[in-house]
């Protein structure tokens, strides 16, 4: 049984109400931080914990905080990135829906550490119902003196506002998120300057994922050293994983980093094995749609034969050739009946739709990728298309303003790398592809014929 | 600050971008720029053709930068070493970006008014490959009129955002911007409004491709048949310094003066641009010099004249 931090009290009914949250020990971290610690001590505590950003890149949170510029006469801002739009990731929604106070708790501690008097929670447009929950929680916190002017009589002021996105994936990129809050078109900015120097309204800004901010309250309450004991190596603490796909028990799980992938997939505590009896595992996307897809033999064992663990290091072992990334923790499992080409096309369609259109390689390249994959998937592909796909990904990768271009090209490049035979099958037997005969199971084929065609 | 670009060292002020430093050296090693325009704020970093390799970040920290950087927005550091045309990776990336820019470009140069002074045309001749691997249809938009003098041909647009930022600079509120996203993104004005400004015609001049064209000049002549002349007049709205494009004694069109990097020297007003098309309106001060490489100057009499004079001198001696 892994240790639970974020999901510790999830079986308490009505946890999203203030009284219930308070009765399980809520807001004690704020009390501790504001009354007995200086902001620097809070930052040091987070640094000691070894907490790494949970949004995808895995940058150490404490280090990020220590980069923030502190010029005189300029306000600083804390932004909570709740624009969780990565296909396959739904952990933040679950947390905000059932335990909004936990996030606000962590945000007050973080804002205090950074010296921010205004904080924003940027919620994606599709999560409209979450906004009501968060706003209610903020009102409750304010009514009980955890927000507003002179919190707990310490002279520290903080306001938290909820801001809605309009449904753009790109606004999860931190600078695009800042632009969006400023009321502009959500285009990523060119870095440098980094947000820590010039972010929202030209002021120093820190943007953190929901999970990273929320867990700060636990770190303050129990100490950074305690947190760093959980986990393995540089991957400390626990992480929410949104498991989906062909598994018996899809859902949000909290794991201690360092758990082996095999155990996560097959143990009854977590995913509970494959969904259908007799259908073996085919591939796993380990961290949301942007990370490279891995076949069965590489996800369970690394290329050097070690057990693959759920840590930042172990998952990226082998680089892009044989490794992947922990990313945002969107764990998507495919069994033998799944068609990787169709899945890649689907991801590519998403990236084509979501590209902001600011810089040329991504704007033109994502569209091209989707067109080529559409062709291959619908039985009109040519042999040259398979290599063309790899060529296009190379043209996009690394040439764009923000990591979106990389995110759009990695899944395609890795799918061709590990599942080239499926692409070749699509080109070799176009008639079978057109009639959807390549799906292993009858029901899936019927479904595809009826609804997807 | 001392920076080295392709082996040439130059002393520049702090805060200069790599592109500006390269322009101070001049010559072949200047990266091309389509979206960056020194007279318009916030431009740059979008088209990605000016990417260069930084092989040493600075004197203090001589590590190379992991990715290619856009030279138009990256400021130089003391002791920075930059490779542009000497680095095959840079040329490869530039070729790739040009190819991607061209996949949705209609390539209708034979009927495009910009042909001959088009940045994308230059780049595709320089870097692009002849046959495209794209077999699908290109994206298509309808042509739109922005006001009664400007035609927006969205198919040709490369979304450099120059006109958007220029309109922001000229008008007090936002009337010109980008709608939708990805490859469906299009330049557009605020619903049923045009850019209502005395200087709005300058968006035509800053457009690096033929997306924004002058309706008073559309399909009148190819630019290389015209003689560009420096022209001046007393204008109370602008500097009054323009280029008059002439055929015989007729002025076919008036544009602002461009530098050799295709940037506008000084913006001119709409009156000068659209309404003053008689030779009596202007004082012609002399021929406008374009770079030797430009198709516009292919038959330029000034250069030929110089050659003739020199040859004549030699023969006389």
Q: Are residues B144 and B239 in the same domain?
A: no
CATH of A340-452, one of 1.20.1440.230, 3.30.870.10, 1.10.10.10, 1.20.200.10: 1.20.1440.230
pLDDT number for residue B54: 94
Do A240 and A248 touch, CB atoms closer than 8 A? no
Do B269 and B198 touch, CB atoms closer than 8 A? yes
Q: Is the pLDDT of residue A150 over 90?
A: yes
Domain extent for B254: 223-297
How many residues would you count in chain B?
Answer: 317
* pTM of the full structure: 0.91
Q: Where are the domains of chain A?
A: 18-229, 238-335, 340-452
Query: Mean pLDDT, to the nearest integer, of A2-24?
Result: 90
Architecture, CATH, for domain A238-335: Roll (3.10)
pLDDT number for residue B274: 92
Give the rounded distance of the alpha carbon of A276 from its chain centre.
27
Nearest to A398 among B44, B68, B183 (CB): B68
Structure tokens at A299: 């996800």
Total of domains in chain B:
3
Q: Are residues B82 and B162 in the same domain?
A: no
Q: Kindly determine whether residue B70 and residue A190, on different chains, have CB atoms separated by under 8 Å.
A: yes
Lowest mean pLDDT, pick from A246-255, A322-331, A401-410, B119-128 = B119-128
What is the DSSP-derived secondary structure letter of residue A89? -
In this complex, is the C-beta atom of B65 within 8 Å of any C-beta atom belonging to chain A? no
pLDDT tens string A218-273: 999 999 999 999 988 889 999 999 999 999 999 999 999 999 999 999 999 999 99
pLDDT number for residue A189: 93
Q: Which of B162, B180, B214 is the last residue of a domain?
A: B214
Q: Is the pLDDT of residue B299 over 70?
A: no
In this complex, is the C-beta atom of B133 within 8 Å of any C-beta atom belonging to chain A? yes
Q: Are residues B152 and B227 in the same domain?
A: no
pLDDT number for residue A439: 63
Q: Is the pLDDT of residue A363 over 90?
A: yes
- Name the minimum distance, in Å, from the CA of B252 to any CA of chain A: 34
pLDDT number for residue B307: 53
Q: Are residues B233 and B203 in the same domain?
A: no
3-state secondary structure of B271: helix
Task: Name residues 11-40 of chain B within 8 A of A (Cβ).
Answer: none
Q: B96 in a domain, yes or no?
A: no
Q: B80 in a domain, yes or no?
A: yes
Query: Mean pLDDT, to the nearest integer, of B184-211?
Result: 86
User: Which residue(s) pair with A81 in the sheet?
Assistant: A122, A209
List of chain B residues whose C-beta atoms are within 8 Å of the C-beta of residue A367: 104, 139, 182-183
List of chain B residues whose C-beta atoms are within 8 Å of the C-beta of residue A401: 45-46
In this complex, is the C-beta atom of B44 within 8 Å of any C-beta atom belonging to chain A? yes
pLDDT tens string A365-410: 999 999 999 999 998 999 999 999 999 999 999 899 999 999 999 9
Q: How many A-B residue pairs are in contact by the CB < 8 A criterion?
A: 90
pLDDT tens string A85-118: 899 999 999 999 999 999 999 999 999 999 999 9
CATH code, B40 = 3.10.20.740
User: Higher pLDDT residue, B111 or A449?
Assistant: B111
pLDDT number for residue B316: 47
Q: Is the pLDDT of residue B192 over 80?
A: no
Nearest to A185 among B48, B70, B178 (CB): B178
CATH code, B193 = 3.30.70.20
Task: Kindly report the average pLDDT of chain B as a whole number.
Answer: 87
Nearest to B182 among A361, A366, A401 (CB): A366
Q: Which of B161, B189, B214 is the last residue of a domain?
A: B214
List of chain A residues whose C-beta atoms are within 8 Å of the C-beta of residue B182: 352-357, 363, 366-367
Give the rounded distance of the alpha carbon of A300 from its chain centre.
21
Superfamily name with CATH number, domain A18-229: NADH-ubiquinone oxidoreductase 51kDa subunit (3.40.50.11540)
Q: Are residues B18 and B81 in the same domain?
A: yes
Instruction: Give percent of chain B with pLDDT exceeding 70.
Output: 91
Q: B276 in a domain, yes or no?
A: yes
Q: B277 in a domain, yes or no?
A: yes
pLDDT number for residue A109: 95
pLDDT number for residue B292: 65
Q: Are residues B112 and B187 in the same domain?
A: yes
| One-character DSSP codes across A336-382 | TT--HHHHHHHHHHHHHHH--S-SHHHHHHHHHHHHHHHHHHTT---
- The 10 Å Cβ neighbour count of residue B101 is 25
User: Higher pLDDT residue, A393 or A437?
Assistant: A393
Q: B44 in a domain, yes or no?
A: yes
User: Higher pLDDT residue, B313 or A208?
Assistant: A208
In which band, very low, low, confident or very high, does the pLDDT at A206 lie, cut at 50, 70 and 90? very high
**Residue for token digits 């914990």?**
A49
Q: What is the crossing angle of helices A91-98 and A128-143, to 10°?
A: 40
User: Measured at the alpha carbon of residue B203, what is the angle toward residues B200 and B206, in degrees to the nearest 5?
Assistant: 145
Distance between CA atoms of residues A248 and B274, nearest Å: 71
Q: B317 in a domain, yes or no?
A: no
Burial of B311: CB neighbours in 10 Å, binned 0-12, 13-18, 19+: exposed
Q: Kindly determine whether residue A359 and residue B48, on different chains, have CB atoms separated by under 8 Å.
A: yes
Q: B151 in a domain, yes or no?
A: yes
Q: Are residues B108 and B201 in the same domain?
A: yes
Task: Indicate which of B31, B96, B178 best probes the interface with A, i.e. most A CBs within 10 Å of its own CB.
Answer: B96
List of chain B residues whose C-beta atoms are within 8 Å of the C-beta of residue A388: 133
Task: Indicate which of A168, A364, A390, A403 best probes the interface with B, i.e. most B CBs within 10 Å of its own CB.
Answer: A364
Q: Which of B191, B214, B237 is the last residue of a domain?
A: B214
Q: Are residues B149 and B48 in the same domain?
A: no
pLDDT tens string B230-249: 999 999 988 889 999 998 88
Distance between CA atoms of residues B316 and A183, nearest Å: 72
What is the DSSP-derived secondary structure letter of residue B60? S
Q: Kindly determine whether residue A364 and residue B103, on different chains, have CB atoms separated by under 8 Å.
A: yes
Do A46 and A224 touch, CB atoms closer than 8 A? yes
* Closest by CA position to A61, among listed A73, A47, A72: A47
In this complex, is the C-beta atom of B93 within 8 Å of any C-beta atom belonging to chain A? yes
Task: Indicate which of A166, A399, A403, A404 best probes the interface with B, i.e. most B CBs within 10 Å of its own CB.
Answer: A399
Going from the C-alpha of B105 to that of each of A363, B62, B127, B139, B210, the distances in angstroms are 13, 40, 15, 8, 10
Lowest mean pLDDT, pick from A335-349, A357-371, B291-305 = B291-305
């Amino acid at each position: 049984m892994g240790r639970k931090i974020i999901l510790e009290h999830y079986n308490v009914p009505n946890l999203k109400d203030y009284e219930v949250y308070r009765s399980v020990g809520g807001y004690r971290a704020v009390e501790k931080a504001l009354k007995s610690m200086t902001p620097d001590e809070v930052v040091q505590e987070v640094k000691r914990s070894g907490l790494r950003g949970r949004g995808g890149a895995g940058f150490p949170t404490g280090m990020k905080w220590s980069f923030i510029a502190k010029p005189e006469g300029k306000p600083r801002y804390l932004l909570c990135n709740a624009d969780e739009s990565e296909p396959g990731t739904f952990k933040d929604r679950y947390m905000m829906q059932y335990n909004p106070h936990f996030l606000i708790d962590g945000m007050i501690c973080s804002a205090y550490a950074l010296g921010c008097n205004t904080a924003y929670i940027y919620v994606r447009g599709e999560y409209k119902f979450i906004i009501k929950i968060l706003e209610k929680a903020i009102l409750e916190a304010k009514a009980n003196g955890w927000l507003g002017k002179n919190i707990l009589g310490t002279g520290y002021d903080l306001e938290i506002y909820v801001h809605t996105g309009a449904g753009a994936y790109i606004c999860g990129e931190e600078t695009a998120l800042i632009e969006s809050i400023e009321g502009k078109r959500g285009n990523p900015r060119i870095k440098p300057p980094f947000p820590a120097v010039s972010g929202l309204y030209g002021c120093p800004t820190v943007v953190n994922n929901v999970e990273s901010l929320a867990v700060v309250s636990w770190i303050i309450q129990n100490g950074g050293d305690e947190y760093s004991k959980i986990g393995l190596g540089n991957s400390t603490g626990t992480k929410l994983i949104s498991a989906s796909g062909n598994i018996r028990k899809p859902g949000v799980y909290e794991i201690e980093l360092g758990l082996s992938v095999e155990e996560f997939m097959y143990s009854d505590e977590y995913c509970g094995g494959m969904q259908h009896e007799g259908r073996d595992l085919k591939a796993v996307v380990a961290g949301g749609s942007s990370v490279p897809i891995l076949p069965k033999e590489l996800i369970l064992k690394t290329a050097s034969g070690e057990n693959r663990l759920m840590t930042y290091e172990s998952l990226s072992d082998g680089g892009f050739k044989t490794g992947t990334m922990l990313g945002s923790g969107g764990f998507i499992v495919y069994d033998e009946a799944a068609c990787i080409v169709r899945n890649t096309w689907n991801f590519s369609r998403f990236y084509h739709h979501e590209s902001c259109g600011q810089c040329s390689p991504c704007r033109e390249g994502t569209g091209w990728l989707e067109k080529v994959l559409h062709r291959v998937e619908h039985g009109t592909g040519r042999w040259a298309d398979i290599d063309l796909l790899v060529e296009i990904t190379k043209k996009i990768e690394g040439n764009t303003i923000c990591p979106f271009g990389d995110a759009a090209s990695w899944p395609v490049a890795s799918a061709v790398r590990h599942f080239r035979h499926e692409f070749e099958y699509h080109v070799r037997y176009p008639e079978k592809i057109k009639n959807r005969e390549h799906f292993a199971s009858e029901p899936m084929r019927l479904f595809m014929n009826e609804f997807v065609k | 600050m001392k920076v080295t670009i392709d082996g040439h060292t130059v002393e520049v002020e702090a805060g200069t971008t790599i592109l500006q430093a390269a322009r101070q050296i001049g010559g072949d090693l200047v990266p091309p720029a389509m979206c960056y325009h020194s007279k318009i704020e916030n431009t740059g970093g979008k088209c990605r053709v000016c990417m260069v390799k930084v092989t040493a970040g600075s004197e203090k920290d001589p590590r190379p930068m992991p990715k290619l950087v856009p030279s138009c927005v990256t400021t130089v550091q003391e002791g920075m070493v930059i490779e542009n045309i000497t680095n095959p990776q840079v040329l490869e990336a530039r070729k790739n970006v040009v190819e991607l820019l061209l996949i949705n470009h209609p390539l209708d140069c034979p009927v495009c008014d910009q042909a001959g002074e088009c940045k994308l045309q230059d780049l595709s001749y320089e870097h692009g490959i002849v046959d495209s691997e794209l077999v699908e249809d290109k994206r298509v938009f309808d042509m739109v009129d922005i006001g009664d003098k400007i035609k927006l041909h969205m198919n040709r647009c490369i979304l450099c955002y120059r006109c958007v930022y220029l309109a922001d600079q000229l008008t007090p509120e936002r009337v010109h911007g980008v709608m939708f996203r990805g490859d469906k993104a299009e330049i557009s004005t605020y619903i049923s409004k045009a850019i209502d400004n005395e200087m709005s015609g300058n968006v035509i001049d800053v457009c690096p491709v033929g997306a924004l064209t002058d309706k008073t000049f559309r399909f009148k002549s190819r630019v290389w048949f015209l003689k560009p002349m420096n022209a001046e007049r007393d204008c109370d709205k602008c500097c009054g310094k323009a280029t008059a494009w002439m055929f015989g004694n007729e002025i076919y069109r008036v544009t602002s003066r461009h530098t050799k990097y295709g940037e506008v020297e000084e913006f001119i007003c709409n009156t000068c641009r659209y309404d003053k098309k008689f030779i009596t309106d202007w004082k012609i001060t002399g021929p406008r010099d374009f770079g030797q490489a430009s198709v516009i100057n292919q038959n330029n009499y000034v250069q030929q004249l110089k050659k003739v004079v020199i040859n004549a001198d030699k023969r006389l001696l």
